Amino acid sequence: MTEILIKNGFVIDPLNNINCQKMDIAIKDGKIVEKVNEREAKVIDASGLTVMAGGVDIHSHIAGSEVNIGRMLRPDDHVKDVVRKTALTRSGTGYSIPSTYVTGYRYSKMGYTTVMNPSMAAMKAKHAHEELNDIPLIDKAVFTLLGDWWVALETIAKGDLEECARHIAWMIRATRSYAIKIVNPGGLESWGFGRNVHSLDDEVPNFSLTPRDIITGMAKVNAMLNMPHTIHLHTNNLGIPGNYKTTIETMQALESVYKGDKPVGHITHIQFSSFAGDNWAHFKSGAAEIANYLNAHNHMTIDIGQVTFADTTTMTADGPFEFSLYELGGHNKWVNSDVETESSGGIIPFHFKKKNAVNAIQWSIGLELSLMIKDPWKVSMTTDHPNGGPFYHYPRVFAWLYSRKAREATLKKCNKKAQRKSLLPTLDREYTLYELAIITRAGTAKALGLKNKGHLGIGADADVAIYNINPETTDIAQNYKPVRKAFSNAIYTIKDGEIVVKDKEIIAIRPGRTMWLDVQTKEPYRINEEMKRKFKEYWTVEFDNYPVTDHYIKVPEKITIQASV
């Protein structure tokens, strides 16, 4: 394998406390190394450029059944954004839900090298993996939806968390997954009969437990299994005015699980869970309350779910939420897709408009949270692609964060009522490149427990992004447009030690790996006849045909972890 030497770049590597130091990065055999032979190595002159680890996305719906139904649903979306075949790359389409190849190309062009696909019904895991194989140039992993799985609900209700943990360990392996995803706990099961839960203490119909039991139980299970990431939680009451209270209650519920060392929960796309006001007419931001809580507590991490004002497609396993969104009116299509014993799902095309008060306030909430939560290590930047906006809009979000001028320019175009309600004019903070590197790679990798990602220390994966930004000579806050452009198009992207993007063009194709956890429980999971019988009762697929086999993962990266049960 070729050796690469990146010379004289301004390196920003927060995990190793390196802030804009002019230094060289050496790469050999796909890893960052101490040094390489300069004569034999391919030398990249990075003088005047910013060098960071490849971007890590903690939450982006890029593959799987839900995403693909979204694709099928929207020919009107694709026709706006077509991508031609080249000698090297495949053709495809965007816009809000790009086809698989295009997804890989666009992430890579932004200098991103790792993406988490955060929502997958276990029963459809093979589908998700088949699609991930077709997303080149990035490493990826999936989170399995487990918060409303009957087996989990029953074992938690029984109070037997160890048994629950063993089932979940099996499921994580069987679905080749990386983390536990919980969506509107209890709500999805209720949605099976068209109902929902509305507070942490509502009883889930037909199961004697509450959302609170599920959340705390799962967080404990997560700890028992020594999972690298925390539980990945989409809160109850998401998308409903006044829900910031539920969000704070949820975080408070998890305080008891916290042992003081590492976070125990990750609230995803928290923007959608930070609404204040009693109804849509009095809709306002709950960002301050959420930020205050997070500033005072250390047991949680979050990602934003920033709105970028796009004609996009919302999709979530939160079926009841999508239906209530649909009922607000003005939408032409609604998809609901329940999955037996596991989950539900919904899709609605949605156009976030600046002139719409609620949409504009949502945009403001996302930025308020990012700016008011003091510790960037608690925050990951996402748009909850494609829910808040497509992932390739990230550079717009960066600009709103590092440049007050940029957000003022956008705020000026927003709905007047939203402008009056926005807290943004009171917020002076502007992200530094260092902080930006935290919320886009270093912090995300840390929150995910990815040891070899998000940094450029010796032994890290040689995933590197080089942007045309000179931190010495550029006032990024003032010149936000060229910097935004630079983030849209990396000069170089290096994946596993190979240059895949050069001068903003794809020059090589690599498949990218799929990371998954082999969770080893102390007592190996026994598939007894009882479990098989249960399987036949619960699912319409035979036990033998359920697990994802090796066939479905082109380039696997198995990560073995030892559980404490």
Partner 1 sequence: MITITPKRKFDVPIQAACINVDVFTGKTLNEIKKLAITEGKENLTLDDAFDLTEDKTLETPNITLTGDFSKVKRIGQGMKTGEIIINGNVGMHTGEKLAGGKIVINGNSDGWTGSEMKKGLIEIHGDAGDYTASPFRGNSAGMKGGLITVDGNVGSNVGCYLQGGTIKIKGSAGRFLGHHMSDGTIYVEKNCASRAGTFMTGGKIIINGTVELLMPTFTIDSIKPKVKVDATQNAQGPFYVFLGDIAERGTGKIFALKTTNPELATYEKYL
Partner 2 sequence: MAEIFKSVVCPICGCLCDDLEATVENNEIVKMKNGCAVCEAKMVHGYKSDERILEPYIRKDGKLVPVSMDEAICKAAQILTDAKYPLLFGWTSSVSETQHVGVELAEELGGALDNCCSVCHGPSVMAIQEIGIPTATLGQIRHRADLIVYWACDPWSSHPRHVERYTAFTDGRFEKSEFKEYVQKLKAKASQKKVDAAIRRTQVRYQPSQPPKAAIVEAPPQSLAKAGRKMIVFDVRKTMTAEVADYFVQVEPNTDYEIFGALRCLVNDQELDIDKVGGVPVEYLKEIVDAMVNADFGAIFFGLGLTQSVGRFRNIEIAIAMTRDLNRKTKFVIAPMRGHFNVTGANTVFAWQTGYPFALDFSQGYPQYNPGEFTANDLLRRGDNDATLVISADPGAHFPKSSIQNMMKHPLITINPDWNAISRLGDVVFPTQWCGIEQAGTAYRMDSIPVTLKKIVEAPKGILADEEIVRRILEKVRDIKAQKNEKDIQGQQQILERKM
Applying CB under 8 A, the residues found at the interface with partner 1 are 73-77, 79, 332-333
Identify residues 382-441 at the interface with partner 2 (CB under 8 A): none
| Residue 88 engages partner 2 in binding (rule: CB under 8 A) | no
Q: Which of 45, 278, 340, 518 binds partner 2 (CB under 8 A)?
A: 340
| Residue 535 engages partner 2 in binding (rule: CB under 8 A) | no
In angstroms, the CA 71 to CA 555 distance is 25
| Residue 530 engages partner 2 in binding (rule: CB under 8 A) | no
Q: Which does 65 bind (CB under 5 to 8 A by kind): partner 2, partner 1, none?
A: partner 2
| Residue 338 engages partner 2 in binding (rule: CB under 8 A) | yes
Q: Which residues pair with 462 in a beta bridge?
A: none
| Residue 279 engages partner 2 in binding (rule: CB under 8 A) | no
Q: For 225-241, give one letter per residue: b (16+ CB within 10 A) or e.
A: bebbbbbbbbbbbbbbb
Residues 147-186: x where in contact with partner 2 by CB under 8 A, - otherwise, as a string? ---x------------------------------------
Helix or strand holding residue 349 (H, E): strand 346-351
In angstroms, the CA 312 to CA 96 distance is 5
258 prior amide bond cis, ω within 30: no
Pure H helices in 403-528: 404-412, 416-421, 433-437, 443-448, 480-488
Q: Which of 35, 37, 194, 426 binds partner 2 (CB under 8 A)?
A: 194
In angstroms, the CA 261 to CA 223 distance is 12
Q: How far is the CB of 540 from partner 2 (least distance, A)?
A: 4
Are the beta carbons of 339 and 346 closer than 8 angstroms?
A: no
Are the beta carbons of 178 and 132 closer than 8 angstroms?
A: no
Q: How far is the CB of 312 from partner 1 (least distance, A)?
A: 15
In angstroms, the CA 183 to CA 205 distance is 17
Q: Which does 84 bind (CB under 5 to 8 A by kind): partner 2, partner 1, none?
A: partner 2
Give the single-character DSSP code of 343: B
Q: Which does 127 bind (CB under 5 to 8 A by kind): partner 1, partner 2, none?
A: partner 2
Q: Which of 348, 371, 414, 517 binds partner 2 (CB under 8 A)?
A: 348
Is 14 or 98 the residue whose CB approaches partner 2 more closely? 98
Burial class (CB in 10 A: 0-12, 13-18, 19+), 319: buried
Number of residues that bind partner 2 (CB under 8 A): 65
Single out the residue of 101, 103, 3, 93 nearest to residue 44, CA to CA: 3
Is 78 or 126 the residue whose CB approaches partner 1 more closely? 78
Q: How far is the CB of 332 from partner 1 (least distance, A)?
A: 4
Is 74 or 385 the residue whose CB approaches partner 1 more closely? 74
Residues 208-247: x where in contact with partner 2 by CB under 8 A, - otherwise, as a string? ----------------------------------------
Dump strand ranges (E) for 479-555.
Answer: 492-495, 498-502, 505-506, 514-520
The tokens for 68 are 């693909």
User: Interface residues with partner 2 (CB under 8 A)?
Assistant: 63, 65, 68-69, 71-79, 82-85, 90-93, 97-101, 123-124, 126-127, 130-131, 134, 150, 191-194, 206, 323, 327, 332-341, 347-348, 537-545, 549, 551-552
